[in-house]
Amino acid sequence: MIAEIVNDVVKPIGTGFKTTLRHLFKPKHTVNYPEAKKEQFPRTRWRHVLLRYESGLERCIGCSLCAGACPVRCIFVEADDNTDQQRYSPGERYAKRYEINMLRCIFCGYCQDACPTGAIVLREDFELADYTREAFVYTKEMLLEPLPVQEEI
């Protein structure tokens, strides 16, 4: 009777705790999200960013090729003329409106492939949850890289 209890109850419990005990001293695979975050791979495709040149001018020329390449048609681009007074990008054309519907986006990265100036890139920021549907339409202001800080001389 006692032998049965030891074999069927104590031993399995002991085996289980042994596994737990062994893993207690091994390196951990999970992180304490959101306090800690895992490092992303360099080519991870998450949130889009519109890049700038070093001069601060936008790389995007509003050519709409990303919208053409997008398999889910989630990008909307409206272009306009650059003037010498109001210059956003080198050349004649810039994107007046640039919107991505993140609910529709499948993060395939075709827009990045299509971009002739390397303006749109998909980067590591993966925390895209929000409360309203409207908040998922990312505007140009949200996507654009902040202006480089002018170095003091």
Partner 1 sequence: MPRPKHAEPKLVNIEINGIALQVPEGEYLVDAAKRVEADVPVFCYHKYMEAVGMCRMCLVDVGYKQPDGSVRKMPKPQASCTLPCSEGMVAWTETEQIIKDRKAVLEFLLINHPLDCPICDRGGECPLQNNTQFYGPSTSRYIEIKRHLPKSLPLSDHVMLDLERCIQCGRCVRFTEEVSGDAQLAFLFRGAQTQPHTFQLTEFNSRFSGNVIEICPVGALTSRRYRFRARPWDIVTQKTICTGCSNGCNIYLDSRGGEMVRINARENPQVNETWTCDKGKFQPNIMRAPNRIQQPMIRKDGALQPVEWHEAYALILERFQDERDKGGVNAVAGFAGQRMTNEDLYLFQKLFRAGFGSNNIDHRLTRYQGDLNKDLYTPLGTFAPQNEMRDLEATSLIFIFGSDLIDEQPMVYLRARKAWHRFGVKALVAYPVPTEAEHFAENALRYQPGSELALASGLLRALLGLLPAEKLDGIEGLEKIRDSVASCDPGWVEAQTGVAPGVLERAARMIADSPSMMLLAGEKVWNHREAQTLIHMLTQITRVTGNADKEEGGLNLMPLAANGQGAIDMGALPNQLPGYRSLAEKASLEAVWGCTLPTEPGLASDAMFQACLESSVKCLYIAGANPVAEHYDPTLAARAVQSVEFLVVQDVLMTETAQYADVALPACAFAEREGTYTNFERRAQRTWQAVPPTGEAKPDWRIFSELLLRLTQQTPAFNPREVMKEVGQVFPAYAACAYDHLKDQGVRWQQG
| Minimum gap (Å) between residue 59 Cβ and partner 1 | 12
Using the minimum distance from each CB to partner 1, give the nearer residue, 61 or 144.
61
Binding positions for partner 1, rule: CB under 8 A:
61-65, 67-68, 79-81, 91-93, 116-117
Q: Are 100 and 135 in contact (CB under 8 A)?
A: no
Q: How far is the CB of 85 from partner 1 (least distance, A)?
A: 16
Shortest CB 104 distance to partner 1, Å: 16
Considering the complex, state which of residue 48 and residue 89 has its C-beta at the smaller distance from partner 1.
89
